[in-house]
Amino acid sequence: MKRDMDLIRKLLFYFEETKDTVHDDLPKIEGFDASSIKYHIYLMYDSNLLHCDPVKSELTGQVLYLMPHNLSWDGNEFLEKVRKNSTWEIIKKTITDKGDAFSFSNINQLTNQDVNHEKYCLNPDLELKWQALIRKNPDDLQVHALHALRLGLFLKEEKGEITDTEASMIFENIKMSLTPLSKI
């Protein structure tokens, strides 16, 4: 069975809303059958996103099924990264456009990118590079359009409408669609 990150995200929301830590029967998630949900609960348990009690065979010790309870610390952390629908859609588009695997590590890399570098919109060195690029290419409308986009994203970030990570992902997606722009 193929892993479905949209289903995993829906299950994260489901278990976040669960009020107690008592075993919950198999959740019903619209658009997904019981077999898919069971498989994804196992993946979430195996990835330490979800606390479950494994029910094992007395003969073989093999896990027969899981009784899910609530999100783990890692599950809560991951959900915070992908909570906003706008962020989730940008993540999916970015990964798809790059042709990368839709994996936890790729999602984490995208959502953590503002931790690994200075704030995208507030980086003064980047603005100096943009000014130099504009001076070098005064008639290049794509360069001007991308710079205007960057400035607009900066304003939206200042207003709290988008995060730095979202601004960076939006910019990179649009930049990739305006090829060839290897100079930027």
Q: CATH number, domain at 64? A: 1.10.10
Q: What is the pLDDT of residues 11-22, one digit of tens each?
A: 999 999 877 655
| 102 in the same domain as 47 | no
Structural domain ending residue among the three candidates 36, 52, 80: 80
Q: Let me know if residue 154 belongs to a domain.
A: yes
| 105 in the same domain as 75 | no
| 98 in the same domain as 56 | no
pLDDT surpassing 90 at residue 86 = no
In the predicted model, what is the mean pLDDT of the chain? 82
pLDDT surpassing 90 at residue 156 = no
Q: State if pTM tops 0.75.
A: no
pLDDT at res. 117: 40
Instruction: Supply φ then ψ for residue 142, to 5 degrees.
Output: -65, -40
pLDDT surpassing 80 at residue 138 = yes
pLDDT at res. 184: 54
| 98 in the same domain as 140 | yes
| 103 in the same domain as 37 | no
Q: Which residues, including other chains, have CB under 8 Å from residue 115's CB and lie 6 or more apart?
A: none
Q: Say if residues 107 and 83 touch (Cβ distance below 8 Å).
A: no
Poorest-pLDDT segment among 40-44, 98-102, 110-114? 110-114
Residue 14 identity: Y
Q: How many domains does the chain have?
A: 2
Q: Let me know if residue 184 belongs to a domain.
A: no
| 121 in the same domain as 51 | no
Instruction: Give the pLDDT mean for 126-138.
Output: 86
Structural domain ending residue among the three candidates 80, 102, 136: 80
Residue 94: give the domain boundaries: 86-177
| 90 in the same domain as 164 | yes
Can you tell me the distance from the alpha carbon of 88 to that of 94, in angstroms, rounded to the nearest whole number? 10
Instruction: Give the pLDDT mean for 41-68.
Output: 91
| 76 in the same domain as 90 | no
| 152 in the same domain as 72 | no
Place of tokens 């009020």: 19
Instruction: Give the pLDDT mean for 55-84.
Output: 90
Poorest-pLDDT segment among 29-43, 95-109, 133-147? 95-109
Instruction: Give the pLDDT mean for 90-106.
Output: 78
Structural domain ending residue among the three candidates 80, 114, 134: 80
| 90 in the same domain as 40 | no
**Could you tell me where the DSSP H helices lie in the chain?**
5-17, 34-46, 73-82, 85-98, 104-116, 124-136, 141-158, 164-177
Place of tokens 């979800």: 50
| 45 in the same domain as 124 | no
| 117 in the same domain as 74 | no
Q: What is the pLDDT of residues 67-79, one digit of tens each?
A: 898 899 999 999 9
pLDDT surpassing 70 at residue 112 = no
pLDDT at res. 27: 87
- Write the DSSP string, 61-112: --EEEEEEEEE-HHHHHHHHHH-SHHHHHHHHHHHHHHT----HHHHHHHHH
Q: Which residues, including other chains, have CB under 8 Å from residue 76's CB and lie 6 or more apart?
A: 16
